[in-house]
Chains A and B, each alone.
Chain A
């Protein structure tokens, strides 16, 4: 109870800093996820009907996800120097697989009969994509986006190790001052607010998912 109290005091005392770090963390995440979504959905649409390209694209995307975060962050430093940039590039690579996978799966799962009947009604292939296949795959794609978002929020906390910002600064700050007053509180702030940010973004995205998916597709 005591810990919780002092923790809260710390949050209130550093309200501006917490808000700023949270916003920066959110900004990194949102930018990364938007870029990754555009890229992955486009890629998914391109490779979905080509088994070999599809398999290779997925295999490469899963290689990125396997490389430990700190290593992947570090690999970009020689190219772009320290800061938010190497972190965002690495996070972008991480965020691809969930969205790409779900895009491909979602498009795979569209019943051939539906596409066939769309063809029969004279829809062009672009019309079939925009009016039939993507809307049907959309709920699953959005699920991929949500997972990428959670993943990105969590991993972005170590951006601080390569000179970036975000809520990781509180964790880092706590670590360097460990043993001094408020150090543990600082770590907790960084951790808890990261999780809360993840949950908040997930709630927002689940609303977006709901509003942008056809009512006929809801479970």
Chain B
């Protein structure tokens, strides 16, 4: 992770005209290449403002913005934006243009030749899981909400930008479709390795999507910016604690796999006392192991290998140990940070 950040916000502030205080105050944030950084925070805290500062949809009042180490605070914003994908909750597909025309918007502005644009459009539609033969010539009103948002993503990927800014992209979509869009998007990201800044106010979405999460308070003050694991294990202050809400410890279990544990041995006599015992496989998460224990109302669950033979046992103590370890690791990390500064 060392090396130059992809995006660097350096003491960036934004004071809207006529507003009393700043919407974003002295924000400093580095975003590494290829990571998904999620901005979460309560409504009106300045998440969208922060995002829009990056592609200069709004101009910072003070501070500098760097992309790939270059100061882009004063470059031509239109040129800049063609290099950055931007997806918004309302999607904003152009209703008078076909899906293909919508997706071709940026390549057209960059004056690609027609053949290249056409190939690119097909490629992008396939990438987001829409059959080009079916959807190319449709109009936006002929799409479902989920499909429209896929087109929105395809359009933002038009000229293969290395950076994507996404403002609550799945916010207006029903929970089931949202879940599948999230999964597809994560799969896509495995392949594309874009640098993504993702805004949401849903902490669960943040935990799911983020390589790192930045929890913002009023005026985009960063309360904590770290991996989901560390944030869940060790919220640095009350604001973060109350924002991530109840059940946090349990959510943290989702980051560790059963296979990584030092399992208790499976003992036919002790474990086979007639009660139904839940079984899971080694690639299950600790969260799933806990669920299995709760389902069977048992303090343990049996781990089986591919052939269904018991390989060991997960016990409650494993879970509490895992949580404690994560908390200790996070505390140590923050102590070191504190000592260093």
- Are A and B in direct contact (Cβ within 8 Å)? no
Interface residues of B, Cβ cutoff 8 Å to A: none
Binding site for B on A (CB under 8 A): none
